[in-house]
Amino acid sequence: MEDCLAKKMEITVSEAEKRTGRNAMNIQETYTAYLIETRAVESQSEGQCAPVDSLWRRYSEFELLRNYLSVTYPHIVVPPLPEKRADFVWHKLSADNMDPDFVERRRIGLENFLLRVASHPILCQDKIFYLFLTQEGGWKEMVNETGFQLKADSRLKALNATFRVKNPDKRFTELKHYSDELQSVISHLLRVRARVADRLYGVYKVHGNYGRVFSEWSAIEKEMGDGLQSAGHHMDVYAASIDDILEEEEHYADQLKEYLFYAEALRAVCRKHELMQYDLEMAAQDLTSKKQQCEELATGTVRTFSLKGMTSKLFGQETPEQREAKLKVLEEQIQEGEEQLKSKNLEGRDFVKSAWADIERFKEQKNHDLKEALISYAVMQISMCKKGIQVWTNAKECFSKM
């Protein structure tokens, strides 16, 4: 972590701005642009601070960056972006992407993403990432020039591999299982939490009605009037307090969401492993069958049925010269194949080693972050309880003066 970018550079996503422009298809659209500000951290900043550099990026550019990183570093659990569309909303929250609260939370999420990447020992060294932060114009072209899209594995290929791979590393199978379960449980949690928030909102708001009726009632009372009136005011305070409480809780929900999306990043690494392993298995299989063919040709025995064998039987045997030529080709192919297999094996082992190192790093990060999230959630609940006690104690005092 000593060399990571985060230590050398201050990064913030400080502003969000609504923009209109023409997209690739020349259609007018509205989108939000985010201001990224960076400043070099002087190890001993006496006197002036380094100047602040800034540039604007929109969400789709962040997506492009992340895609690039995922493809270029398939053995890394790449930090996720905040959600594209508002999900798991409870009724009062807007599902509108242009809603200022959503934009604000997204701004924080994007900043978090950049900081995560900048703190990653490997990712932070990436040139494209650095340019994303520092060079506004022409960045897109540079990313495309890396040709990373060509390296991307097709979804279909990956799915195929998942089903057909025979001997994946057991740890990855377990990890895949874990990330599926994690996704499922966090989704469930977020859904129920949203419903809980909805209901809690209802409970608090109905208390506001006490405010009005106590006020009306106090009008016809003599001695009881003042006590009722002031108690009613506290009921209004109580009803209003839920807005801030639930807004704060959204940050907790966002922390959970990050790990929900992280689960997908974990899955991506497992998929890559499965792909590589499948590729390896296919290559080994291919090599074996070629060696077999070689043997058959050399000895003249046909051990397996083949169309070639049939045709040669039907249309006559090959000439010895033809057989020689074939053998030679096969032997070349086998040699190539063996070298390829060797390098694939090496690749696979390297992948497993480096992926697993990053996964261990990720696990520690996850445990630390989620613990912090749970603590902050408990602190929020404690604060909510204390506010409740305060309000009702105040109300009780008013009632006692009735």
The distance of closest approach from Cβ of residue 360 to other proteins in the complex, given in angstroms and rounded to an integer, is 13
Q: For other proteins, which is the closer residue by CB, 166 or 222?
A: 222
Rounded CA separation 157/217 (Å): 73
395 half-sphere exposure, CB direction, 13 A CA radius: 20
Cα gap 368→89, rounded to integer Å:
26
Tokens 């045709």 correspond to what residue? 311
* Interface with other proteins, residue 170, by CB under 8 A: no
388 forms part of the interface with other proteins (CB under 8 A): yes
Gap between the Cα atoms of 293 and 287, Å rounded:
10
Contact between residue 245 and residue 379 where contact means Cβ atoms under 8 Å apart: no
Window contacting other proteins (CB under 8 A); options: 243-251, 331-339, 353-361, 391-399: 391-399
Q: Let me know: does 325 contact 281? Beta carbons within 8 Å.
A: no
Least distance to other proteins from the beta carbon of 214, Å?
A: 8
Q: What is the footprint of other proteins within residues 344-373 (CB under 8 A)?
A: 367, 370-371
Q: Indicate the residue among 190 and 282 with the shorter CB distance to other proteins.
A: 190
Residue 240 in the binding site for other proteins (CB under 8 A): no
Q: If 0-12 CB within 10 Å is exposed, 13-18 middle and 19+ buried, where does residue 38 land?
A: buried
244 binds other proteins per the rule CB under 8 A:
no
Among 56, 148, 356, 392, the residue binding other proteins under the rule CB under 8 A is 392
Name the segment binding other proteins (CB under 8 A); options: 22-30, 49-57, 68-76, 209-217.
209-217
Distance CA 39, CA 79 (A): 22
Q: How many angstroms separate the CA atoms of 367 and 365, rounded?
A: 6
Contact 90, 235 (CB under 8 A): no
Question: With CB under 8 A as the contact rule, which of the stretches 4-12, 217-225, 268-276, 323-331 interacts with other proteins?
Answer: 217-225
* Residue 289 structure tokens: 């069958």
At residue 165, the 3 state secondary structure works out as coil
Contact between 192 and other proteins per CB under 8 A: yes
Determine the Cα angle at 219 with ends 215 and 225, to 5°.
80
The footprint of other proteins on this chain (CB under 8 A) covers a number of residues equal to 49
Which residues neighbour 312 within 8 Å (Cβ) at sequence distance 6 or greater?
318
Residue 397 Cβ, how far from other proteins at the closest point, in Å? 9
Beta-carbon contacts of residue 249 (< 8 Å; ≥ 6 apart): 193, 197, 377, 380
Distance CA 284, CA 282 (A): 5
Least Å distance, CB 218 to other proteins, is 9
Q: Are 260 and 185 in contact (CB under 8 A)?
A: no
Query: According to the binding rule CB under 8 A, does residue 220 interact with other proteins?
Result: yes
Candidate residues 93, 175, 231, 280; the one interacting with other proteins per rule CB under 8 A: 231
Distance CA 86, CA 82 (A): 10
Nearer to other proteins, 111 or 249 (CB): 249
Please tell me the distance from the alpha carbon of residue 90 to that of residue 93, in angstroms, as a whole number.
6
Binding mask 85-124 for other proteins (x = CB under 8 A): ----------------------------------------
Neighbours of 113 (CB within 10 A): 20
Residue nearer to other proteins on the CB measure, 160 or 187: 187
Site string for other proteins, 9-28 (x = CB under 8 A): --------------------
1, 159, 346, 375: which one binds other proteins (CB under 8 A): 375
Minimum CB distance to other proteins, residue 153 (Å): 28
Q: Does 328 contact other proteins by CB under 8 A?
A: no
CB of 354 to other proteins, least distance (A): 23
> Which of 59, 130, 178, 261 lies at the binding interface for other proteins (CB under 8 A)?
178
Q: Which is nearer to other proteins, 38 or 183 (CB)?
A: 183
Which residue in 193, 257, 272, 290 binds other proteins (CB under 8 A)?
A: 193
One-letter amino acid for residue 323 of the chain: R
| Local structure of 89: helix, strand or coil | coil
Mapped onto helix, strand or coil, the DSSP state of residue 34 is strand
- Select 22 or 222, whichever has its Cβ closest to other proteins: 222
Q: Residue 196: left (phi > 0), alpha (psi -120 to 50), or beta?
A: alpha
Positions that interact with other proteins (CB under 8 A): 178, 181-182, 185-186, 188-189, 192-193, 195-196, 198-200, 202-203, 206-207, 209-210, 213, 216-217, 220, 223-224, 227, 231, 367, 370-371, 374-375, 377-379, 381-382, 385-386, 388-389, 392-393, 395-396, 399-400, 402
